[in-house]
Amino acid sequence: MAYRLSVFSNVGLDEALLKLVIDEHSAAALPRLDKLWTYYRNPLKPVGRGNPHSHSSPDSPTSRESSGWYTLGQEVGLPQRVTGRGSSPTDDDRQRTRREVVIENDIGWRIQTMIDLMFGKPVKIASIAKNEETKATIERTLDSVWEHSGGIALLQDAALLAHVFGHVDLMVSVDEQALKDAARAKMDPAQAAQHIRIEVIDPRRGIPLLDPADVRRITAYVVHFQRQLNSQVTETWWQRAIGAAPQSPTRATAASTLIVSGTTRQLYDDRRLTRQENLAWSGGELPIVHIQNLSQPLHYTGVGEVEPLIPLQDELNTRLSDRANRVALQCFKMYIAKGIEGFDQAPIGPGRIWSTDNLGASVEAFGGDMASPSEDNHIQQIRDALDKISSVPPLAGGVVQGRIGNLSSATALRVTLMSALAKTARKRVTYGRGLTEICRLVLTALDWAGALRTDPAERAVRINWPDPVPIDEHDRILAAEGKLRLGVPQSTLLEELGYTATDVGVV
């Protein structure tokens, strides 16, 4: 069944180009993005006999190589001499088994700490409309849209994807007929806005079609992914004709393809058109907002946090695995016996007696753990490099070390976290631009339906970010009193403190 893409002729999208961009994304972009997610998530995968769903025999290579019932995602970066897989001239020919594998996911907690600094607390969206009544209505309506779409959890999800992959896209979906009906019924704008939804697009699914003349402009957008259906795969007519043996039941899947332009939105399931909508509210503007984690000039994708940490993460895991292997060999005593028959079968333990008639017999012990300063220094230097590249010191994750000094004030804490706070402030530029653009699209849809009339100047908003470092409440109040004496409006100060006029009894 062919696609019906004539409605996208204005952006130059046809079936051949659609197939090409999907194939390019699946072959080139998707494997790389999956690797980035693997290093962040470090998923646990059951293997061998410990896996209840595994069909491998006890003598299979998977069972022999695995020292446990699972492997971890970051093991893909370990050398073969540690994992025991494959063969190379540097392998030990006497040992093909899996050594002690130690994985310390230093990437995961750093990403989570960055997100906590960005969206650990709710952000405040403030309208810059001059009319106070219009300003209050806009803010209340936008809060309703964001909360209906997921609230702070939506922002945290978007930030997680952007930190891992380098960018994330947000899409505004509008039920045009329901929104118009709510406007005709004179429904409150905050209630009418329930028919508008903000959705996060996983970069592993999103495929932008960029303007060849301007890489910053998206002409159309494709969302392509495989989804499971609530049905089983059925036998085809040719399988029944040749009498093929039935296989074990499996879930049926469908390839979903969503295509969005400034005027039309189509949804396909296995190349079958299931829904088509005309986007009258957007006025020809693509309802997609692109957010880069850290800006990368002349590139669609931004700079993520996982990619620069992967080489150091592999080195850290390799050295930790080597140290575990060395400790396992050296922490136990080993013995060399000469002139004692059957010594290899003799039990070793307290109170054991060995006897022999050979006067030249001897037993020598060797091994035992010993210090390795160069190894410890190398591991510490790797950790320091991870701190510098990520700008997230252990203190930001709650690990208090003796060398941080006396953190008796918020100023001392800010100095310690200066690099992390500076990077967070830089990200707020790109994320804030994306949030204001989403709010503008939402207000455009409400104005088109007549639910909330605004002019373009009134659709601009300001993002008030919370302070990522805890501040003493007494200090905040003293600072607010000083600003009040300088003439700062009381409503602005209440917003900074997280209060409304109703909370403090101001009419």
- The region of weakest confidence among 262-271, 288-297, 304-313, 360-369 is 360-369
Task: Examine the pLDDT at 90 and tell me if it is beyond 60.
Answer: no
Of 5, 39, 368, 402, whose CA–CA distance to 220 is shortest?
5
- pLDDT greater at residue 96 or residue 493: 493
pLDDT tens by residue, 39-54: 999 999 988 654 544 4
pLDDT tens by residue, 383-439: 999 999 998 887 776 666 655 555 556 666 777 788 888 999 999 999 999 999 999
Task: Examine the pLDDT at 105 and tell me if it is beyond 80.
Answer: yes
The rounded Cα 237 to chain-centroid distance in angstroms is 43
Instruction: Provide the residue type at 141 as one letter.
Output: T
The pLDDT score that the predictor gives to residue 148 is 94
Q: What is the mean pLDDT of residues 331-352?
A: 79
Q: What is the mean pLDDT of residues 490-499?
A: 76
- pLDDT greater at residue 237 or residue 451: 451
- The region of weakest confidence among 142-151, 329-338, 351-360 is 329-338
Q: How confident is the model at residue 316 (pLDDT cuts 50, 70, 90)?
A: very high
What the block records as the tokens of 458 is 């009134």
- pLDDT greater at residue 326 or residue 407: 326
The pLDDT score that the predictor gives to residue 355 is 81
pLDDT tens by residue, 131-189: 989 999 999 999 999 999 999 999 999 999 999 999 999 999 999 999 999 999 999 99
pLDDT tens by residue, 61-78: 444 444 578 889 999 999
Task: Examine the pLDDT at 60 and tell me if it is beyond 60.
Answer: no
Cβ(107)–Cβ(306) below 8 Å: yes
At 78, which helix (H) or strand (E)?
none
**CA-CA-CA-CA torsion sign (79, 82, 86, 92):** positive
- pLDDT greater at residue 330 or residue 93: 330
Q: What is the mean pLDDT of residues 104-118?
A: 93
**Model's pTM, two decimal places?**
0.83
> In a 3-state reduction of DSSP, which class is residue 447?
helix
Average pLDDT over the chain, rounded to whole? 85
Q: How confident is the model at residue 351 (pLDDT cuts 50, 70, 90)?
A: confident
What 299-304 contacts at long range (C-beta under 8 Å, 24+ apart), as own/partner pairs, is 299/215, 300/167, 300/208, 300/210, 300/215, 301/165, 301/166, 301/167, 302/162, 302/166, 302/167, 302/430, 303/166, 304/36, 304/162, 304/163, 304/164, 304/165, 304/166, 304/167
Q: What is the mean pLDDT of residues 471-497?
A: 80
The rounded distance, in Å, linking the Cα atoms of 12 and 175 is 27
